[in-house]
Structure 1
């Protein structure tokens, strides 16, 4: 296993839009190893989600810690967004020590491929919905600080 270095702001790679993963790339040994290494990196960093761009690989892959454990989502796309919104505090491995209140959809439906290339469509609500929206934003070069209404750094009051 390889543990990747997590990129932090202001690294410009975090602001790039990621390319889709081709179906014939998914089952290659290199890509499968990348999935495993990304999962391990998320675990070591004590994260609940991570996106490939956060480790310098601008492909549309995210890992989300679900009830089943860490799951790989390839080319994830939000196909439904609820009208109801929630405001929650978010943080990010790529923006260490900074937190902010972000308004997101209470529920989303995601369409993606799993690590075997099978189509999956998890319905997510509440906190899981927030994680998916946060991680998919990374694939478009968007960080939570771009959406946050109130931002604060550890050990300070509001910035």
Structure 2
């Protein structure tokens, strides 16, 4: 299908909790194709449906050369002591800030046929699963930053030349 433009910080769709995907609904396959095409670009670890302007509960991840998608994902397990990791976001381009994430995560959801999918992993995969699930819940990663880091991040974002625009 197509690589879709990424919605940027300030776009209200990023703050909205997404609706469940109705399995078998027309357009689901096209949404998954667009998510896969959009996450396949170099340097992208994940894309949530609301980042491409679709208010449905779906995301893709691209970790270690493998692209996966999941519909209606829910985090079912987090493991290990949370630790600070540098994190960025396509919706907040050009910035990386340290934020607490669990080193292991497991997500359960569905594929296009309604069959169960489980995505899990450590390191970048765990970070991506937590990050993309947060997107679907209407939360951006900067909301989870330590207070002083969050103030710094918000100052930088408001001064960014892309603020309020979409990018390819």
TM-score, with structure 2 as normaliser: 0.81
Q: Return the offset for 1:45.
A: 6.5
Matched, 1:81 2:72: no
Q: Return the offset for 1:117.
A: 2.2
Distance 1:9 1:71, change over 3 A: same
Query: Counterpart in 2 of 1:97?
Result: 94
Following the alignment from structure 2 to structure 1, what is the Cα–Cα distance between the partners of residues 110 and 63? 15
Query: Counterpart in 2 of 1:7?
Result: 7
Contact preservation (8 Å) 1:89, 1:100: yes
Query: Counterpart in 1 of 2:128?
Result: 131
Following the alignment from structure 1 to structure 2, what is the Cα–Cα distance between the partners of residues 31 and 24? 7
Following the alignment from structure 2 to structure 1, what is the Cα–Cα distance between the partners of residues 2 and 129? 24
Distance 1:67 1:98, change over 3 A: closer
Q: Which stretches of structure 1, 4 residues or more, deviate above 6 A after TM superposition?
A: none
Aligned counterparts, 1:20-35, within 5 A: 20-25=20-25, 28=26, 30-35=27-32
Query: Counterpart in 1 of 2:58?
Result: 61
Q: Return the offset for 1:23.
A: 2.0
Q: Return the offset for 1:145.
A: 0.7
Contact preservation (8 Å) 1:81, 1:108: yes
TM-score, with structure 1 as normaliser: 0.86
Report the RMSD for the aligned CA atoms in angstroms.
1.9
After superposition, what is the alpha-carbon deviation per residue over 1:30-70, rounded to whole angstroms, capped at 9, x for unaligned?
Answer: 21122111211222464110000001101000001144621
In structure 1, list runs of 5 or more residues that go unmatched. 155-159
Following the alignment from structure 2 to structure 1, what is the Cα–Cα distance between the partners of residues 123 and 2? 32
Contact preservation (8 Å) 1:105, 1:130: yes
